[in-house]
């Protein structure tokens, strides 16, 4: 009995093990015999893009710059005399015509000087007339004095004969000789006066020229008492008022010539050589200024003769194609320059460019990356944005030996664009 109980206790753990093993077999059989769900095919995602068909063409690069309006005839008129201000009939901002009165100065002091200069000339005219009369008188007197000299010489000869015969006293002879000598001196003095006449006349004429110069200077000062517009223009500032005492050189009025307006814009270095070559070849470069929602046609005049000290750039100067414009001095405007046309190129929207020089061509529904050469931009037309503001739609001018007519290029910016990416074109 005890032996049976010992044996039972020794092999009591077999039963649980057997039960667990059977359960594991059953579970394994259920898992293996479980029906498998049908596999779903994984479909590659297609990205929806817009595209453009390329066509080789001729395109004109355009550059948009910031320009400032200026005038080479931006003048500040100053006083040429010291005087009191009598009238100032103009105000800032008004348009004036050439010759219009801007400032009237008191001319009374100048008129007194003018009268004095005229009196000096009248006096010299009288002296010149007197010298000419004196010359004529000297010529007439010389004839008579020569005759008197002959008479004195004849009298001396008679006295000499009488003296030789001891028929006359020595005193009579000396008196006759003295009379002849005095008459000879008179003739010589008259000849000297006649010979010196041209010198005296030249001296008087030189004084008259000097007096005429002073008179002309006084007349100019009298004219300067009226400050008039030197050209058709617009007054930018008036610096004096009636009653002020102004000094020579003091600024009075500033104005600029509306018919000689220019726009100055700094040209990027990459376009500088192209513009310089075009000017040397006589190619007419056009531009457009955008002012007050209107476009003003411009023409390139020249390049600046020096580089800017601040940034080293070179300025280009443009003038309006017509005198009918609304340009205002010192106003900043957007400027669009039409560069010389390029051939055998393609144009794309800006959205087609990835980075600075990469596009994606669509081949058999997949993207292919291509590096291209960007030659410039083309600013085609004005469009209105959501804020009702007009903006320029840009197109990029490109060139690549790997592109040809009929190629399709995506114009959609994809964040994960890569060669081989599958895409679908929008209809």
CATH code of the domain in which 385 resides: 2.40.420
Same domain for 245 and 294, yes or no, is no
Lowest-confidence segment of 69-78, 113-122, 200-209, 379-388 by average pLDDT? 379-388
Same domain for 176 and 280, yes or no, is no
Find the angle CA(348)-CA(350)-CA(351) to the nearest 5 degrees: 100
Same domain for 121 and 141, yes or no, is yes
Could you give the number of structural domains in the chain? 4
Q: How far is it, in rounded angstroms, from Cα 385 to Cα 328?
A: 27
Q: Which residue has the tokens 């006359």?
A: 168
Contact 360, 305 (CB under 8 A): no
Contact 299, 275 (CB under 8 A): no
Six-digit token string for 130: 């007197």
What are 20's strand-pairing partners? none
Q: How far is it, in rounded angstroms, from Cα 167 to Cα 173?
A: 11
Q: How far is it, in rounded angstroms, from Cα 426 to Cα 186?
A: 126
What does the pLDDT look like over 17-72, one tens digit per residue?
677 777 777 777 777 776 766 666 667 788 899 999 999 999 888 888 899 999 99
Residue-level length of the chain: 427
Q: For residue 234, how many other CB atoms are within 10 A of its CB?
A: 17
Q: Is the pLDDT of residue 179 over 50?
A: yes
What pLDDT does residue 327 have? 86
Six-digit token string for 282: 């006589």
* Phi, psi for 381 (deg, rounded to 5): -155, 170
* Phi, psi for 153 (deg, rounded to 5): -65, -40
Q: DSSP letter at 350? A: G
Same domain for 98 and 229, yes or no, is yes
pLDDT tier at 173 (50, 70, 90 boundaries)?
Answer: confident
Q: How far is it, in rounded angstroms, from Cα 1 to Cα 20?
A: 30
CATH code: domain of residue 231: 2.40.50.100
What is the DSSP pairing of strand 286-291 with strand 47-49? unpaired
Q: Does the predicted model carry a pTM greater than 0.85?
A: no
What does the pLDDT look like over 109-120, one tens digit per residue?
999 999 999 999
Q: Give the structural domain span for 89.
A: 74-106+225-257
Contact 247, 273 (CB under 8 A): no
Same domain for 90 and 231, yes or no, is yes
Q: How far is it, in rounded angstroms, from Cα 201 to Cα 199?
A: 5
Cα 66 from chain centroid (whole Å)? 14
What does the pLDDT look like over 256-295, one tens digit per residue?
998 899 999 998 887 888 888 888 888 888 898 887 678 8
Q: How far is it, in rounded angstroms, from Cα 5 to Cα 235?
A: 133
Same domain for 281 and 414, yes or no, is no
7 lies in some domain:
no
Same domain for 137 and 229, yes or no, is no
Q: Is the pLDDT of residue 213 over 70?
A: yes
Q: Is the pLDDT of residue 387 over 50?
A: no
**357: closest CA among 376, 385, 343?**
376
Q: How far is it, in rounded angstroms, from Cα 400 to Cα 56?
A: 11
Same domain for 130 and 203, yes or no, is yes
What pLDDT does residue 227 have? 95
Integer angstrom CA distances of residue 294 from 9, 17, 43, 263, 291: 111, 98, 54, 16, 5
Q: How far is it, in rounded angstroms, from Cα 360 to Cα 419?
A: 8
399 lies in some domain:
yes
Q: Is the pLDDT of residue 253 over 90?
A: yes
* Phi, psi for 143 (deg, rounded to 5): -60, -45
Six-digit token string for 79: 């006083």
Same domain for 268 and 250, yes or no, is no
Integer angstrom CA distances of residue 289 from 73, 321, 335, 382, 396: 21, 11, 5, 13, 21
Contact 61, 399 (CB under 8 A): no
Q: Which residue has the tokens 């039972």?
A: 8
């Amino acid at each position: 009995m005890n032996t049976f109980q010992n044996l039972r206790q020794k092999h009591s753990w077999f039963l649980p093990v057997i039960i667990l093993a059977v359960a594991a077999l059953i579970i394994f059989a259920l898992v293996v015999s479980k029906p498998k769900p049908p596999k779903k095919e994984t479909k590659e995602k297609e990205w929806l893009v817009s595209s453009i068909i390329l066509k080789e063409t001729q395109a004109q690069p355009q550059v948009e710059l910031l320009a400032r309006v200026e005038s080479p005839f931006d003048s500040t008129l100053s006083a040429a005399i010291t005087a009191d201000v009598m009238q100032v009939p103009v105000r800032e901002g008004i348009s004036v015509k050439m010759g219009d009165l801007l400032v009237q100065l008191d001319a009374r002091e100048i008129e007194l000087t003018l009268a004095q200069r005229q009196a000096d000339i009248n006096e010299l005219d009288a002296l010149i007339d007197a010298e000419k009369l004196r010359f004529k008188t000297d010529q007439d007197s010389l004839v008579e004095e020569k005759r008197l000299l002959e008479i004195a010489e004849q009298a001396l000869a008679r006295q000499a004969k009488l003296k030789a015969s001891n028929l006359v006293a020595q005193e009579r002879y000396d008196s006759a000789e003295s009379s002849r000598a005095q008459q000879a001196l008179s003739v010589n003095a008259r000849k000297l006066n006649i010979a010196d006449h041209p010198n005296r006349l030249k001296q008087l004429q030189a004084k008259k020229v000097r007096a005429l110069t002073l008179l002309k200077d006084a007349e100019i000062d009298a004219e300067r008492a009226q400050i008039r517009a030197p050209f058709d223009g617009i007054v930018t500032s008036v610096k004096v008022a009636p009653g002020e005492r102004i000094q020579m050189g003091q600024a009075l009025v500033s104005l600029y010539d509306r018919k000689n307006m220019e726009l100055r814009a700094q040209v990027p270095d990459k376009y500088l050589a192209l513009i310089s070559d075009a000017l040397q070849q006589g190619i007419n470069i056009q531009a457009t200024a955008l002012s007050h929602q209107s476009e003003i046609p411009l023409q390139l005049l020249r390049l600046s003769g020096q580089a800017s000290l601040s940034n080293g750039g070179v300025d280009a100067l443009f003038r309006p194609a017509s005198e009918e414009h609304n340009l205002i001095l010192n106003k900043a405007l957007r400027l669009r320059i039409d560069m010389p046309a390029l051939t055998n190129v393609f144009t794309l929207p800006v959205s087609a460019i990835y980075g600075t020089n990469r596009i994606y061509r669509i081949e058999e529904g997949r993207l292919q990356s291509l590096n291209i050469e960007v030659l410039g931009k083309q600013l085609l037309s004005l469009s209105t944005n959501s804020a009702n503001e007009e903006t320029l739609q840009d197109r990029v001018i490109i060139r690549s030996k790997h592109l040809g007519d009929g190629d399709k290029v995506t114009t959609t910016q994809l964040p994960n664009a890569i060669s081989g990416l599958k895409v679908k074109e929008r209809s």
